[in-house]
Structure 1
Amino acid sequence: MARIVMKFGGAVLASTEQIQEMAKKAIAEKDRGLDVVVVVAGMGQSANEMKRMVQHLTDEVSKRELAVLMSTCSQQSSALLAIALQEAGYRAVALTGWQAGIHTDSMYSHARIDYLDASRIEEHFTQGDIVVVAGEQGIDDMDNVTTLGKGGAETAAVALAVALDAERVDIYTNVDGVYTADPRYVTKAQQLQEISYDEMLELANLGSHIIHPRAVELAKKFQMPVIIRASRGESVGTLLKEEVEMEKNLVVRGVAFESDIIRLTVGYDAYSDASLADIFTVLAENRINVDIIVQAIIDGLKPTVSFSILKEEFAEALRVLEDSKLSLGFSFADFEIGLAKVSIIGSGMASNPGVAARMFDRLRRENIPVKMVSTSEIKVSVVVPQDDMIQAANALHNEFNLEQAIHI
């Protein structure tokens, strides 16, 4: 029998009415003759309440105990959805991450999936059950509960789909699908019918919060089709796959932007003291994501390396650098706040030179200063003042004619 994995985020499970609506979507797939696994995230209000209670108890919470606590949020979602399915007359069972066979490393709140044993889910399929899995969690080789961090539920959904040889993963969100830009801020943004894994990966890394990059990477690795669709009503959504038809030959297919970017600069007394490998290895070992990197070596000036990070990782990055200052050999660290990142993305950019020049020229005409630049074959990102972010996004959307993308 064919299988499908559905992922419901916390925002679409925020009330009993929404839980019942999501149950109907799972039932519709079951009635089509499919084996159904639903992966759920924790309800937002539950997670926030847990964090508030922890803050009242301590400033130095154990990462292990925090993972145990936060894992209960998605367990509540899974149990409530299973109850709604049972009340509707269907067989359903709620499983924790470890019961579903999700085995991870021991990073607790930022765990990565090592392997999956889907045998228990297979047993439930033979009994006709709809299986509801608490996403965002797993278990390590010492039987400690772990949580997968940001994007954990959709990453687990893709991993389960691969392990179960499912037809596809359907990710239900509060938006209709993937747009050429965030339609809340770019009024002429258009929905895309399809988007390649590579383009979606860039969009996800560059500020689009529809799906986490980890899930896209996993889907690309195993060529698992993913549809991003709306939780309300019937939605065609946007299909993620390897190759897509170019819509009206658009070279640029999306504009992404992200606020609260911080530029961190580390300086050295001499070039011989600087080791890019050492500094970024230390940051990587602490799971701190670094984006745009600029090194400056100028005669007569102390060498520096600047890199951008998200605001939420700033405090941890400073702590890691301070703890490792002697071994890394830098003399000072400085930072700049109030920045944003704006990016253009499109697989057609690789064979069309001059795209970056058009981007820079349009920003110049808009009087928007560019502070940092990063490029790849299918994207160009710039760091600009945060106050200019929305203006820059709309200007670039207009510059590359993205309002002409096919609207569904």
Structure 2
Amino acid sequence: METIVVKVDSSSLTTPERIDKIADRILEHKHKGKHPVVVVPSIELLEGNFLPYPSIFNEKIANRESHVLKAINTHVASSLLAIVIERKGHKAISLSGWQAGIEVSKSNGNVLIELIHHDLILERIQNGDIAIVAGSQGYDENKDLLTLGEGGPETTAVAIGAAIGAEYIEILTEQDGIYTADCSIVNEARKLKEVTYDEMLELAHLGSTYLHPRAVELAKIYEMRIAVRSSTNNVEGTWIKGEVEMEKNRVVRGVAYEADIIRLTVAFESYENSSLANIFMTLAKHHIDVDIIVQAVIDGVKPTVSFSIAKEDFAEAIKVLEKSKAQLGFSFADFEVGLAKVSIVGSGMVSNPGVAAQMFDRLRKENILVKMVSTSEIKVSVVVPQDEMVRAANVLHDEFQLVEEYVN
């Protein structure tokens, strides 16, 4: 029995006409002899109905009930799609997270999938039903409904695919695949035929919005192939898989960017008083993510450590550092705003030294100031002035010759 899991995007469920089109798209798989399981996200449909109840929703809602409210629109989305498919003459059934057997748990404030009782979904498939699962939800040991949060729908799709042994996962989006760069800032960006799990993870962490990292991580663990395709045009998309054919032996295969980066610098009177562990453990306790870290220890100069954070974490980071100043033992903290991160990604970097040097040389020739650097085996990131972000992305896209078409 060849099964696939199709994750539908929210834009496909916003009007009756779009729901009708996405139903036809799902039925195409059925006509080809495959058994699709569909995962739907939440749709913004019922929020307006909550407006008459400001006295209730202006207060802090109990955590349990907050999860229930978040799940309502997903239930509606799955039911609407099931109704349309049935009207087209096919059997379909909407399933909530608990009806699909999705067991979840809380860990460090996050909701994670623990187990999927896949026999419940397989039973529906064997009955000839197209199972339409309300994504991003499950039940815990207390039988309470919990939602997975950011990246939940696609993570649900991958988890279901792994549990039922699906052939692959199809992620339908507003774009028709994964590109060498963001088309909105790099006009010459081209669609990639394939990317590796590791490349996609780096792109996702570096600001690319195609797919959430937690879904890619899960797909990598279970070696579950993902096809990212357009929800409106039935054209070939991009495959995410373990190994790819290195088209034309390209070392760099994508450029990513992230705006609104802030650099914080903490200075100490002496090296003995400094402790990177204490600083970053303190920030981590307050759920502040730190990215690029640069430490400077030079004889005769006060030691410093600089690190980058997202704009939304800035106020809380300053508050935490000031409150913990005596405990952490630093003399002062400074910051710089108006920065951005631009990165190059490619699994071919592992066996090709000199890529970072080539990147730095091109940025130098373009008079683009590099303020911080971070590297891994398959990526190099630089922090640059934000008003140079777009130009930096474009010149690096040009430098590594990503303009040529990848898809046949």
Q: State whether TM-score is above 0.5.
A: yes
Alignment of 1:15-26 (within 5 A): 15-26=15-26
Contact 2:176 2:233 in 1 (8 A): no
What is the CA distance between 1:183 and its match in structure 2?
A: 1.6
Aligned to 1:340: 340
Task: Say if 2:158 is the partner of 1:177.
Answer: no
Gaps of 5+ in 1: none
Contact 2:45 2:73 in 1 (8 A): no
Alignment of 1:129-168 (within 5 A): 129-168=129-168
Aligned to 1:400: 400
What is the CA distance between 1:347 and its match in structure 2?
A: 1.2
Q: 1-side partners of 2:263 and 2:224: how far apart?
A: 36
Gaps of 5+ in 2: none
Amino acid at match of 2:16: T
Aligned to 2:67: 67
Amino acid at match of 1:236: E
Q: 1-side partners of 2:383 and 2:18: how far apart?
A: 39
What is the CA distance between 1:55 and its match in structure 2?
A: 11
Aligned to 2:389: 389
Distance 1:66 1:198, change over 3 A: same
Distance 1:61 1:92, change over 3 A: same
What is the RMSD of the two structures over their aligned residues, measured on CA atoms? 2.8
Distance 1:304 1:57, change over 3 A: farther
- Which moved further from structure 2: 164-173 or 228-237? 228-237
What is the CA distance between 1:337 and its match in structure 2?
A: 2.5
Distance 1:72 1:321, change over 3 A: farther
Q: 2-side partners of 1:229 and 1:81: how far apart?
A: 19
Q: 1-side partners of 2:382 and 2:54: how far apart?
A: 38
Alignment of 1:9-408 (within 5 A): 9-44=9-44, 57-58=57-58, 60-106=60-106, 110-284=110-284, 287-315=287-315, 317=317, 328=328, 330=330, 332-408=332-408
Contact 2:92 2:132 in 1 (8 A): yes
What is the CA distance between 1:43 and its match in structure 2?
A: 2.0
SS at match of 1:342: strand
Q: 2-side partners of 1:5 and 1:190: how far apart?
A: 26
> How many correspondences in the alignment?
408
Q: 2-side partners of 1:196 and 1:312: how far apart?
A: 30
- Which moved further from structure 2: 335-344 or 299-308? 299-308
SS at match of 1:111: strand
What are the superposed Cα offsets for residues 267-290 of structure 1, whole Å, 9 maximum, x if unpaired?
445444443334434544555433
Contact 1:109 1:149 in 2 (8 A): no
What is the CA distance between 1:49 and its match in structure 2?
A: 8.8
Distance 1:166 1:260, change over 3 A: same
What is the CA distance between 1:310 and its match in structure 2?
A: 2.5
Contact 2:9 2:231 in 1 (8 A): no
What are the superposed Cα offsets for residues 349-400 of structure 1, whole Å, 9 maximum, x if unpaired?
1121111111111112222111111001111001111111111000000111
Distance 1:51 1:272, change over 3 A: farther
Q: 2-side partners of 1:45 and 1:302: how far apart?
A: 56
What are the superposed Cα offsets for residues 126-166 of structure 1, whole Å, 9 maximum, x if unpaired?
22111111112222223333222221111111111000100
What is the CA distance between 1:59 and its match in structure 2?
A: 7.0
**Length-normalised TM-score, structure 2:** 0.90
- Which moved further from structure 2: 11-20 or 312-321? 312-321
Distance 1:247 1:328, change over 3 A: same
Q: 2-side partners of 1:53 and 1:288: how far apart?
A: 33
Amino acid at match of 2:139: I
Q: 2-side partners of 1:317 and 1:56: how far apart?
A: 31
What are the superposed Cα offsets for residues 49-74 of structure 1, whole Å, 9 maximum, x if unpaired?
97998899437554444333222232
**Length-normalised TM-score, structure 1:** 0.90
SS at match of 2:307: strand
SS at match of 2:184: coil
Percentage identity across aligned positions? 53
Q: 2-side partners of 1:260 and 1:397: how far apart?
A: 21
SS at match of 1:309: strand
Q: 1-side partners of 2:48 and 2:383: how far apart?
A: 31
What are the superposed Cα offsets for residues 239-288 of structure 1, whole Å, 9 maximum, x if unpaired?
11111111111111111111122223344454444433344345445554
Q: 1-side partners of 2:286 and 2:268: how far apart?
A: 22
- Which moved further from structure 2: 343-352 or 330-339? 330-339
- Which moved further from structure 2: 70-79 or 233-242? 70-79
- Which moved further from structure 2: 362-371 or 290-299? 290-299
Distance 1:396 1:45, change over 3 A: farther
Q: 2-side partners of 1:316 and 1:333: how far apart?
A: 14
Contact 1:248 1:404 in 2 (8 A): no
What are the superposed Cα offsets for residues 146-197 of structure 1, whole Å, 9 maximum, x if unpaired?
2222211111111110001000000000111011111222111111111111
Distance 1:50 1:370, change over 3 A: farther
What is the CA distance between 1:322 and its match in structure 2?
A: 6.2
- Which moved further from structure 2: 105-114 or 208-217? 105-114
SS at match of 1:402: coil
Q: 1-side partners of 2:298 and 2:289: how far apart?
A: 27
SS at match of 2:157: helix
Contact 1:103 1:114 in 2 (8 A): yes
SS at match of 1:360: helix
What are the superposed Cα offsets for residues 12-33 of structure 1, whole Å, 9 maximum, x if unpaired?
3222211111111111112222
